[in-house]
């Protein structure tokens, strides 16, 4: 090779194309020597090893003149192999650059990928001298790219999230070109974009797209990691969703979604890596500087603190690890164009030694960063460690997955006793968890289902999980699902059971979209996607998880969800900026901004809130004028939502007001006409149903003449 080597610069980290060549910079505080390895265009032959000549502020660096973008490379890092002291250096192992923007080739399972001899005693590991280069992908030198165009800038208050999987969304969609199905470009296809626009969501939340690998135990069972929570690189888009250039294809997908007014939020996994526990493989971080990148146990640094449940935990307290995470986040915002992030097991990112602190280095760094402070930040507010459950305790600027909403809504509609007060708290925006001077209802990410657990269809079709296909003897997955099969386990031809299941799905979806907070819909729930009772389909990269688009055709449920989303957008009372507690009143109607009413149309009494047998009540939202903007479509005087989780009908007395009650919808009656003025103030509310009415002091455009109207 005709190259020229010079010292280069310690920043930026990674491989950077410059006018002088390509600058390489790698952090390792404890290494004794680092070699840059260049490969041929097929990634098969190691052409040259170049000892990196400079070591500045714990960063090894070199500049190579004579190579350009597209060059393939990796690292070999020298140092002590002392697992009990936290060091796992092994120069026989080719290592990935943590800052690589693209990878060439595939990971091949082989014992050479382990830094220790697999046949050695597990108590005292011995060094393995096999070269693993043939089984590792190679890093690719990439050019710096310009930022994408303007972004949608969806207000938090207006956000409606659609959680989806890049592959699973289009893999079976025949409206998408066959070669594009299951890829970034498949999601960018007009058929995908048109569907999302018609559905009405504002933001897609993509399951992990950082380069990840399959765990050995999934491969042994003939399965694969489908969800992607096993990242090994935090800059490269996963190649399995690309036809060619993953960077450009991902950017095209983001650009197409942005042009349609849809945000892109990434589910990211900065809490652990795919290198596993003390017996796991060495692909990158372990071999570069294990003692810096990971949290190790104090009594024996061979072992990892495992707050993730995946074998290891990143040491986010270390400034260079924190830098890697924030550099990654900025890259995805600035270069790849994304609009926000959902952080897997986010409590880990707030852990100090060992407790959670919302003012720790990570959160403070994000808060002051001019790029990251302005994007959507969503926490999964728990991990598996002690005091890992931190719902409601994240910084004010963050949004949080609200599993209390999920479980309470499931239990209420299942018919559990004693759920009334907590149900009201959840649909009110969980003010008991989130409200303070600076937080808003939008902080609560309200969801019923997510990738992890039952789909909505299965939630009302299965009493027990059916995870046998996962090969773990049905012991994996959640046990507390708060589900109900309504008489028959799984699919059935019983029309009455199916009708009730459909109605319950409508009840749950209605609750999701009329609640204060930010709704998140699991893709496929809008048309009844089923995983056949599997509530842990992480390893089901097949038709169990892929959306079956045949169900979407002429789907009554899909039409209902579209109407719900349109309704939420059109009626600002369903989507308030601030918390309301019934202490503001309308000068026009005299109604409080929010009221909780019993079946007599009267305010709920303390004793009724604690009556475990009551499952029917109503929420009345009134317009107090000052909260509306000129952009709002409907200026309702009030909205009334009646919930009946009983298995029998209830006669409901509407509040006696000087004006007109009009129907919007009723989950028990698909023939309910919208905007009809009701001629009476008593409604027979069907069992297992939910209905929404609007109140106005002005009549609708047409009226019923001397007709008694019942909701049935």
Q: Give the Cα separation of 575 and 594 in Å (integer).
A: 13
Catalytic residue among 380, 422, 435, 525: 380
CB 13 within 8 A of CB 42: no
Strand, helix or coil for residue 441: helix
Q: Give the burial class of 147: count Cβ atoms within 10 A of its Cβ; 0-12 exposed, 13-18 middle, 19 or more buried.
A: exposed
Distances, alpha carbon 79 to alpha carbons 57, 89, 139, 230, 470, in Å? 17, 5, 22, 27, 40
Cα 287 to chain center, whole Å? 30
CB 486 within 8 A of CB 501: yes
State the DSSP code for 670.
Answer: T
Q: Does the annotation mark 344 as catalytic?
A: yes
Q: Does the annotation mark 40 as catalytic?
A: no
What is the DSSP track for 522-541?
Answer: ETTGGGT---TT-S-GGG--
What is the DSSP track for 377-428?
Answer: EEE----SSTT---TT-S-TT-EEEEHHHHHHHHHHHHT-TT-HHHHHHHHT
DSSP H helical ranges for 49-177: 166-170
Catalytic residue among 215, 344, 400, 422: 344
Q: Which of 478, 483, 428 is CA-nearest to residue 458?
A: 483
697: left (phi over 0), alpha (psi -120 to 50) or beta: alpha
Q: Give the Cα separation of 498 and 25 in Å (integer).
A: 60
| CA dihedral of residues 298, 301, 305, 306 (deg, nearest 10) | -150
Gap between the terminal Cα atoms of the chain? 81
CB 308 within 8 A of CB 271: yes
Q: Which residues are catalytic?
A: 344, 380
């Amino acid at each position: 090779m005709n190259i020229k080597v010079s010292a280069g610069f310690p920043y930026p980290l990674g491989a950077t194309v410059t006018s002088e060549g390509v600058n390489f910079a790698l952090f390792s505080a404890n290494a004794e020597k680092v070699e840059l390895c260049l490969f041929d265009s097929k990634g098969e032959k190691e052409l040259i090893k170049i000892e990196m000549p400079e070591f500045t502020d714990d960063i090894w660096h070199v500049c190579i003149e004579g190579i350009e973008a597209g060059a393939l490379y990796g690292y070999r890092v020298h140092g002590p192999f002392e697992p009990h002291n936290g060091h796992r250096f092994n120069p026989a192992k080719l290592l990935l650059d943590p800052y690589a923007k693209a990878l060439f080739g595939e990971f091949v399972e082989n014992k050479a990928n382990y830094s220790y001899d697999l046949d050695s005693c597990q108590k005292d590991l011995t060094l393995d001298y096999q070269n693993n280069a043939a089984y590792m992908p190679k890093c690719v030198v990439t050019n710096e790219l310009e930022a994408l165009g303007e972004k949608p800038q969806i207000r938090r208050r207006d956000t409606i999230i659609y959680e989806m999987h890049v592959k699973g969304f289009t893999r079976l969609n025949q409206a998408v070109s066959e070669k594009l199905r299951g890829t970034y470009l498949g999601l960018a296809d007009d058929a995908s974009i048109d569907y999302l626009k018609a559905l009405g969501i504002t933001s897609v939340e993509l399951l992990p797209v950082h380069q990840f690998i399959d765990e050995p135990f999934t491969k042994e069972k003939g399965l694969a990691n489908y969800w992607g929570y096993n990242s090994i690189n935090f800059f490269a888009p996963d190649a399995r969703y690309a036809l060619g250039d993953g960077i450009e294809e991902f950017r095209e997908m983001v650009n197409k979604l942005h042009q349609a007014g849809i945000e892109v939020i990434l589910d990211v996994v900065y809490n652990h890596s795919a290198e596993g526990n003390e017996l796991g493989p060495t692909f990158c971080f372990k071999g570069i500087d294990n003692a810096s990148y990971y949290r190790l146990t104090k009594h024996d640094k061979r072992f990892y603190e495992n707050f993730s449940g995946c074998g290891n935990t990143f040491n986010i307290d270390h400034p260079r690890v924190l830098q890697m995470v924030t550099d990654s986040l900025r890259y995805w915002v600035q270069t790849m164009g994304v609009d926000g992030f959902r952080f897997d097991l986010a409590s880990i990112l707030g852990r100090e030694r060992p407790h959670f602190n919302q003012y720790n280095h990570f959160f403070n760094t994000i808060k002051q960063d001019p790029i990251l402070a302005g994007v959507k930040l969503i926490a999964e507010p728990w991990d598996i460690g002690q005091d890992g459950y931190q719902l409601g305790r994240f910084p004010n600027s963050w949004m949080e997955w609200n599993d209390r909403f999920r479980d309470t809504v499931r239990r209420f509609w299942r018919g559990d006793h004693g759920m009334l007060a907590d149900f009201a708290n959840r649909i009110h925006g969980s003010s008991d968890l989130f409200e303070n001077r600076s937080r808003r209802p939008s902080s609560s990410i309200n969801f019923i289902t997510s990738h992890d657990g039952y789909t909505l269809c299965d939630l009302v079709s299965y009493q027990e999980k059916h995870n046998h296909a996962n090969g773990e003897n049905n012991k994996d997955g959640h046990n507390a699902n708060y589900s109900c099969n309504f008489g028959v386990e799984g699919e059935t031809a019983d029309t009455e059971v199916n009708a009730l299941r459909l109605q319950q799905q409508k009840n749950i979806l209605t609750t999701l979209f009329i609640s204060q907070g930010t709704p998140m819909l699991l893709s496929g729930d809008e048309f009844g996607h089923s995983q056949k009772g599997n509530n842990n389909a992480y390893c089901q990269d097949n038709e169990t998880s892929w959306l079956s688009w045949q169900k979407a055709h002429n789907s009554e449920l899909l039409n209902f969800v579209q109407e719900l989303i349109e309704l939420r957008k059109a009626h600002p009372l369903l989507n308030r900026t601030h918390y309301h507690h019934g202490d503001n009143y309308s000068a026009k109607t005299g109604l409080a901004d929010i009221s909780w009413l019993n079946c007599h149309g009267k305010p709920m009494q303390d004793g009724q809130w604690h009556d475990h047998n009551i499952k029917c009540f109503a929420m009345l939202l009134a317009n107090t004028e000052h909260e509306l903007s000129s952009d709002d479509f409907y200026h309702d005087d009030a909205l009334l939502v009646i919930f009946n989780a009983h298995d029998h009908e209830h006669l409901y007395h509407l509040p006696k007001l000087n004006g007109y009650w009009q129907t919007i919808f009723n989950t028990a009656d698909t023939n309910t006409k919208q905007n009809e003025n009701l001629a009476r103030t008593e409604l027979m509310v069907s069992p297992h149903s939910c209905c929404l009415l609007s109140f106005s002091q002005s009549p609708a455009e047409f009226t019923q003449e001397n007709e008694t109207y019942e909701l049935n």
